Chains A and B, each alone.
Chain A
């Protein structure tokens, strides 16, 4: 350590020089044109965006580039110009341009200056969809992509029409607690649930600003609720109740295998505080990732046969199932349909998410496991509920894990998380889906200075959800409730 003193003054000087750097301000001159696409980050070339989204700013991938100059022209009119170290569009101007070109295209002419020489690249296009994205934004959890210690976890909300991100609940106010993500009812910020684990843990339901804290663990169900899905009417909420564990690889490929010792799916009736169970689900198999259909008449979930985990981790293959649910009586149906059979196809089908228009079923397919985010081969697939046809979403998948997808309120956009960049730090992507099921190239969640932001961000994103309006949440009240440890008890329907 003492040897560090030798380089101290040199480092200090170097840092001062770094700090002394100033941004570029030159305009293109003596421009050389080349017939290739510009190397930019994020790769926004050819993506489809909604009008009114936050500006899709980008940087040059080549660190030697000193200055960038971009002209954007809309097919229906309008023009935008940006010049600087990176491409930073004015939010208002961008909104105006995208609104004007709804259903059209934007053409980007990119010039970059390197070593005093300006180069103009081949133009690229971006499509502005005629389908809007009117939701306020996204909620998601940000967590260090670590192992058994969550670290500085936080649930955040992001206005997707600007760059504003605000904290909903962070570990700063609940130190040492782990919490999973906020699950709204069909993107409604006035009704959501989240789960706090560990000491003082509990299941929170916030309805119209009022927090109610439940203890959803019972003798029959062994664990509190985790992955959740709301019935559209807002009275019932389906939870998976499970015990999640991690095991760690010693080789240099995979890092973590996440497994559940047990898991079941239950429905909480928030009116009577009863848990509704079904012998067809509570049959000894591991049921997980419940999701109500758009009309609320069906509950989808994944299920796998029990095996000796972690030793037999490769045997965890989930099937995708559906069971009827009658909201008027709060009862499950008498029959379970297996939509996709995991063991028979040697795959695992998890995290099913029906679109809110009742047209699609999006889910994750991996070679094993009921925790797809940890599986490198996890990909998104889509089922057309009208025809039963299903296919891989090749437009959005990569060689790394894709999962945690969710739908926008109009079901024309979906958000998903992907580890495509480095296999570790999950980021959020948005993509458009047409009524014909055609999916566009996804785009990375925009940031003001994306290269700097994503390079410096040491968090992974997970469990993104669209929200129609900003979530109002009293984190201090949550703190009080966690430490007060008073919970509304629940009982299993039929138990005395």
Chain B
């Protein structure tokens, strides 16, 4: 009970953004096709179950609750397989999984696979003919449900000395894997067939813990048959406490999760929290700078405070394209709000296609659909909404979007889509990241009510160290920026220009100095 509450509170209060991160890299569809596609491969059922749970991460408390149930279920199942003593050891696999899930590439299907494998052993621990018959059936079934983690079941049966011919079970499972390898999975490497790689988002890679946990689980079950002693209880308790401490301390990289948190806050447009958090903790990366700058811009504070926060360089506002599943997300959000709809679509599309286990992303698909809607590409947008309609949590939006696409007046009057249609470029030309400052300037000239474009344009000039350009275009801020007074950040820059950078305590002077030391900048 306490364990379950602890797990729930951990995910719900401390790491809700970790749940959001996982949720955004899959799109669970409530269709028979989706189910059949998943279960058509060994271990696919565990994948499906994992994805089933992860879809509920969209509602954080629900996701945390289901995770708590899953962890408690594993602990209970492990306990069922153990002897009478060593109760605390039954928590060890769950705590190790807790550690493992700190790696954001680990998929929840792994937990299900382990649960199924251990659960099968809990159902069939006995000896005799009935168990023998059950083994003949369970080994292929567990293999199909749990994939390579079926070895946990087989080894537990083997090492548990279940029956005289139990040594044949590894050969049985190995034969099944070989048959799958050659007849069913021609597009899988042997490593994929024999190792639980399908539960890791990055192909052909595995976390070391994914090897360790099955063996520790087996050891725990076997060790539990040893007679317990009173003195062992505090030792096991201390060991468990250390393991918990290690799990949270080592499993959850602080900087990485800080970036995941920033992205989560951007996704939910919690701008105040981003800025507040940025004051307390910074991760000196372009990703972090982008999130903070976007939050500042949404509060119209970019001109005022930008350089009071860490700026990574010329990529602090918009990053060049990077082939991974996370880096482009803040830039895509920036493009979207600026009115660079095509670029937002491109970054979201490439982000989605960078999910190396070939899953769709609900977040990306929704934004891609929105971009297509703003551009009036309704046929392709409907393809995306058609997909979203088969999900649980994007369904309502997709239905609304489809209704809206049938009503052009409603589209134009929409507070976001209608506005973006006015902010878009009117002239068509080729995007150039090297000339992003010019593109931002042109975007502003295209619609002089686009204050975000103006702020970003001047900010990009400052990041680039283009003082001449900044001085030349500063009047635009005065004329169109809507400022009652010259923003303090701009005043600081002007002072730096006048005093050639010798302004003690100046945030911009500090930035310029840092850039010059890096060999770039002015």
Contact = CB atoms under 8 A, between A and B. Distances in A.
A250 interface: yes
A336 interface: no
A11 B186 contact: no
Contact of B58 (A1, A15, A151): A1
B350 interface: yes
A339 interface: no
A7 B429 CA distance: 42
A476 B180 CA distance: 14
A171 B356 CA distance: 9
A423 interface: yes
A2 B60 contact: yes
B431 A7 contact: no
Interface stretch (A41-49, A110-118, A142-150, A276-284): A142-150
B127 interface: no
Contacts of B343: 248, 250
A250 B354 CA distance: 22
User: In the complex, which range does the number of interface residues on chain B fall in?
Assistant: 35 or more
Interface string B322-341: 01000000000000000011
B200 to A, nearest CB: 11
Contact of A175 (B203, B340, B439): B203
A4 B429 CA distance: 39
A252 B341 contact: yes
Contacts of A173: 187-189, 192
Given A170-B187, A250-B340, A476-B190, A425 B380 contact: yes
B203 A176 contact: yes
B129 interface: no
Contact of B323 (A5, A149, A421, A425): A149
B375 interface: yes
B346 A455 contact: no
A312 B383 CA distance: 34
A252 B343 CA distance: 11
A175 B356 contact: yes
A294 interface: no
B348 to A, nearest CB: 10
B202 to A, nearest CB: 8
Interface in B362-402: 374-377, 379-380, 383, 386-387, 392-393, 395-396
Contacts of A176: 203, 356
Contact of A421 (B33, B352, B379): B379
Contacts of A250: 340, 342-343, 425, 428-431, 439
A247 B431 contact: yes
Interface in A427-469: 455-456, 458
A19 interface: yes
Interface in A136-178: 144, 146-152, 167, 169-173, 175-176
Contacts of A144: 349, 353
B391 to A, nearest CB: 9
Interface stretch (A71-79, A101-109, A228-236, A253-261): A253-261
Contacts of B187: 167, 169-170, 172-173, 475
Nearest to B389: A18
B216 interface: no
Interface in B421-444: 424-432, 439
B266 to A, nearest CB: 13
B340 A5 contact: no
Nearest to A176: B356
A476 B189 contact: yes
A260 to B, nearest CB: 15
Contacts of A252: 341-342, 374-377, 424, 428
Given A4-B59, A11-B393, A11-B395, 19 more contacts: A8-B392, A11-B396, A144-B349, A144-B353, A146-B346, A146-B352, A149-B349, A149-B354, A151-B353, A172-B187, A173-B188, A247-B431, A248-B343, A252-B341, A252-B375, A252-B377, A456-B33, A456-B387, A458-B387
19 contacts: A1-B60, A4-B59, A5-B61, A5-B62, A8-B59, A8-B62, A12-B392, A146-B346, A146-B352, A149-B354, A172-B203, A173-B187, A175-B203, A175-B204, A247-B431, A249-B342, A250-B342, A250-B429, A250-B431
Interface of A: 1-2, 4-5, 7-8, 11-12, 14-15, 18-19, 144, 146-152, 167, 169-173, 175-176, 247-255, 257, 310-311, 313, 421-425, 455-456, 458, 475-476, 479
Interface of B: 20, 30, 33, 58-62, 186-190, 192, 203-204, 268, 321, 323, 340-343, 346, 349-350, 352-354, 356, 358, 360, 374-377, 379-380, 383, 386-387, 392-393, 395-396, 424-432, 439
